[in-house]
Chains A and B, each alone.
Chain A
Amino acid sequence: MTRDKNLPLTETVYYILLALLEPAHGYLIMQKVEELSSGQVHMAAGTLYGAVENLLKQKLIQPVHSEDSRRKVYVITDRGLGMLRQDYERMRHMIEMTNTILG
């Protein structure tokens, strides 16, 4: 099987997709990414906005109904979930191999 050209995901994209397993608006995504990465990945507003725009274009996330009239809410799509799983498998394989050789 040939690997999707969007793989491997970047660290930020991976965390955004992981954060969007549950619906969230922009600022909440930023906070979740920071939390999920134990403070390692900090995203600024302009960067997050662009990243969300790209993910929407690639149909990895989609907008969902929002209670808040100003803030749009997004959630991961099936395609996004598939991508996240593939990248997870890729990294797990890397870790297993590293464990075997190095560990």
Chain B
Amino acid sequence: MMVYDNPDGVKIGLEIHVQLNKLNTKLFCACSTDYHNSEPNTHVCPVCLGLPGSLPVLNRRAVEFAMKVGLALNCEIVEQTQFHRKNYYYPDLPKGFQITQYDFPIASNGKVVIDGEDGEHIIRIKRAHMEEDPGKLMHIGSIEKSKGTLINYNRSGMALIEIVTEPDMRSPKEARRFLDKLRSIMEYLDVFDGDLEGAMRVDANISVMGGERVEVKNISSHKGVEKAALYEIMRQKNFVRRGGKVVLETRHFDELRGVTLSMRSKEEEHDYRYFPEPDLVPLRVADKVPEIIKTLPELPDAKRKRFKTQYGMADMHAKALTSDIKVANFYEEVAQLVDPKAAAVWVADILKGELNYRDISVDAFKVEDMAEIIRFVSSGNITERSGVEIIRTILDKGGDPASIVKEKGLVKVEENIVTKAVDETLEENPEALQDYLRGKEKSLNFLVGQVMKKTAGRSDAKTAREMLLDKIKKLSPK
């Protein structure tokens, strides 16, 4: 087995803030979480605005969600919840402190397996803790040109779970793979919708060759994390090569320029003066663990394994089909209707590619349509190429397979039409035929092309070629 030797001694640890945005209400109040299309400061109340005298009340469902996440990440769950105040001043933080978890996170000591540089690789999860999201600062135009800063507190008080890994990722690619896996798990658990803005934010701790770690803050995409890590590794390596010594610091990732910029050295870090939140009482959760375990769905790794054995598909296909719960469910529905192996190829290799290209969800495609396309192709009514064309047409313009086939005349033409085209082609191109018979293979391609042209592409190249060869054999039996 190939072993990755990590030549630059790269260590990456991640801190990921995941919004539990599938909750109906915020972490400590009854405000709706469905604020993404709302006017600023309309999803607020005395509690999430931190008005004097308001008090937090813990959302029990949020605790259950967090427990699900912890258990899915193979963590131990704490005996009882305990919240702390993290004190710091910032205009988006309406109370002047954030309610978070400190020395008793809801979950700790877990692990996640990813497809690493050299096969399966374990990323240890240090802890996962619950906390509230602050509001959001907004500017009119660019931050430099804006006349002032506006604050939108709709986000304030949203439930977050912060997942902290050990520095177990050895390359930017592994970091990205981990994040993809994490998102996949979160969506399997139905606690998180990754498509919503700001749903997942990442801080990456990166070091090379045993040097100090540098923290790159607040990266908003998986691709961004990979890019930031690549840049940071290069920067640190060059810095060390020139005789520099990397120091603990916090940097900011400029997504547009693809570079990291220094924000502050660690010595300037705040003293957050953590202390137990006196307005919340501990909630005993240990007894609830067995109950929550029962509610856990089949997770990506298990599903991938099952797909291979149950449907006899390649690991590559099983992986592609299980990374997104929606795709996995879609596949299984299609597999009920048609040959599962054919369905695996069509969904994993073709449909997923077309969806990714358009950056749309599998929700946009009907299970019945996929099954029908597969049926058309396997019964020989249409070509594979036509199948792809139907998918593209549905995605771009809508419609259903049968009417698209009719409209576009995609039904494979009768063999006699092809026969006719072959006869005509050979008659019209005696020189090409002679060339081929003299051993010039390329001429056959020309003749195939001519047949295709005459059938207006309704025949596939394979059929045209076979029929041409048949005819030639008959013409010059040797």
Do A and B associate with each other?
A: no
Binding site for B on A (CB under 8 A): none
